[in-house]
Structure 1
């Protein structure tokens, strides 16, 4: 068994699910090694099955009809059947004074509610600034910003666009976006992995599957 497979097998998915329910993201320290061949494919295929179970629970909570299949290959087949053919960009490279604007990777009919984020260069050594940021917008409230601390080898599971939140009258969807703050020095290399496939910009409208 590879070190990555061993790390995945040791994860406490009950705790991960509870934290995703509570905050909409979780940071898992020391999950991967940078030199692993085919790292992104291993992360996507390894994390999809347990995250699909959490995603289906979220859809149950929100009373959404869609259910995600247990394997990533089957989900990608569903995406391709509706014209979502393209893997979304995975790598980010930001130099001094550059940033990633607040947004969502939420195009297409099928949208998986989770993404994986990490850094490939060391904060404080290779670059300064460049914090990974999430914002959460609840109805009639100001956006809540959250800084997601990341070191090389850490993996953040984040909400792609919407998550269930329990209010006084039951559950409703809150909107979440991500960004990377301005890099003050050096170069920040990182990644953001989407489980769903994308379409050409301007085609179709996104909604939660």
Structure 2
């Protein structure tokens, strides 16, 4: 049973929350095995072509694999109340419905119809530049990443990086330590930080440091769809 209060506290304090061993080793291997199955995906991106870094990723097509669909559906209603509280204190007008099906319908009406869960693969010397996953007018403020390989056994390097830009102070960078099967939930765009005048917004970006050896696969769950 997950302690969602602790998840919210970590998100509010750090901008991310780790959920250990949310996937089993067998589930990680199964999802990794999807990568060569082109029929599961709507597009493939070679990162170097677009100056995104080095490595490649693929966006799943509908219907999503059962496990991917279940993760998206089941995590969303736990995160949407937190998202609404964040938007309230940051004075962002959009509020999020109780179920992911309802939110997808909002995305659909806005022309955001392409699914965004993705599978990423990095090899030696690959990396991902700092970025935000913003795909349209409707952006859910959290996303989840699942590490599918074991650091030190399957690969070295390739740490998940999170950076924050503060409006009045120097920013900071964090390395997020993950093991195989762990999930990390983090802020897509902004997070609220209390100030003497209420709250201000910190801007966040994420990326992956250079891989030194082996292969690293991750599953990304983004809750808003793309145009």
For 1:29-68, list aligned pairs within 5 A: 29-36=20-27, 38-68=66-96
Counterpart-to-counterpart distance in 2, 1:106 and 1:34? 30
For 1:39-188, list aligned pairs within 5 A: 39-188=67-216
Distance change in 2, residues 1:185/1:151 (3 Å): same
Counterpart-to-counterpart distance in 2, 1:53 and 1:93? 32
User: Bigger shift: 20-29 or 138-147?
Assistant: 138-147
Counterpart-to-counterpart distance in 2, 1:24 and 1:12? 17
The alpha carbon displacement at 1:34 in A equals 4.5
TM-score w.r.t. the length of structure 2 is 0.80
Counterpart-to-counterpart distance in 2, 1:185 and 1:141? 36
Distance change in 2, residues 1:70/1:139 (3 Å): same
The alpha carbon displacement at 1:121 in A equals 1.0
User: Bigger shift: 28-37 or 166-175?
Assistant: 28-37
Counterpart-to-counterpart distance in 2, 1:176 and 1:59? 15
Aligned-residue RMSD, C-alpha: 1.3
Would you say 1:11 and 2:11 are equivalent positions?
no
Would you say 1:21 and 2:49 are equivalent positions?
no
Deviation string, structure 1 residues 33-60 (Cα, Å, up to 9, x no partner): 2544722212111110010000001111
Contact 2:135–2:224 under 8 Å retained in 1: no
Match of 1:55, SS state, is: helix
Counterpart-to-counterpart distance in 2, 1:197 and 1:107? 7
Counterpart-to-counterpart distance in 1, 2:74 and 2:26? 17
Counterpart-to-counterpart distance in 2, 1:109 and 1:55? 16
Count how many residue pairs are aligned between Structure 1 and Structure 2: 190
1:7 is matched with none
The alpha carbon displacement at 1:135 in A equals 0.4
TM-score w.r.t. the length of structure 1 is 0.87
Counterpart-to-counterpart distance in 1, 2:110 and 2:86? 23
Distance change in 2, residues 1:181/1:15 (3 Å): same
Counterpart-to-counterpart distance in 1, 2:22 and 2:76? 15
Structure 2 gaps, min length 5? 28-64
